[in-house]
Every structure is written in C-alpha cells, then in structure tokens.
Amino acid sequence: MEPKSRPALGLAIRHLRLIPYLAQGLSNGECATALGLSRHTIESYVSDIMAEFGVSSRSRLVIACQEQLESEEISP
C-alpha cells in the first residue's frame, strides 16, 4: 500500500488553488470570480493559509509559500 502524497506546501487542494492568484496580487473579489467561489470563502481561505504559515500579510504569505516550495524542491 503506497502512502498518500501530501499536496505542495502541506495545504488542502482548495487552499492551494488560491496561491497563484494571491501571487498575482488579485483582490479577494477577483480571486472569488476566477475560482467561482464567494468573496467570503476566499477571505476564509486566505485567513486559514495565513494562520498555517504564521504570517499577517498577503505579501508575506506569498513569500513564505515561495520559500517553502523552494525548500521542498531541494529536500528528498
């Protein structure tokens, strides 16, 4: 039995789908439109992801995600 692989960054897929839009600097409303979700849902996802990474701004979140992805590429 093969172990389940975890998504990149250790995030749920629904959260992971949001990261590229945040990296582009889109607003919550723009992210909601792009993903077909409500603004409230996006706000919740952003809060969840920020808490997961222990950051308090969207720009720090994008940087933390980028750093984590780089470290995952290096780690076996």
Rounded to the nearest angstrom, the gap between the alpha carbon of residue 51 and the centroid of all alpha carbons in its chain is: 11
- Residues 61 and 28: beta-carbon distance below 8 Å: no
The domain tally of the chain equals: 1
Q: With respect to residue 4, please indicate whether it lies within any of the assigned structural domains.
A: no
Q: With respect to residue 50, please indicate whether it lies within any of the assigned structural domains.
A: yes
Q: What is the pTM of this model?
A: 0.80
- Residues 34 and 23: beta-carbon distance below 8 Å: no
Q: Which domain holds residue 27?
A: 10-74
CATH of the domain at 52: 1.10.10.10
pLDDT of residue 10: 80
3-40: per-residue pLDDT in tens? 444 566 788 889 999 999 999 999 999 999 999 999 99
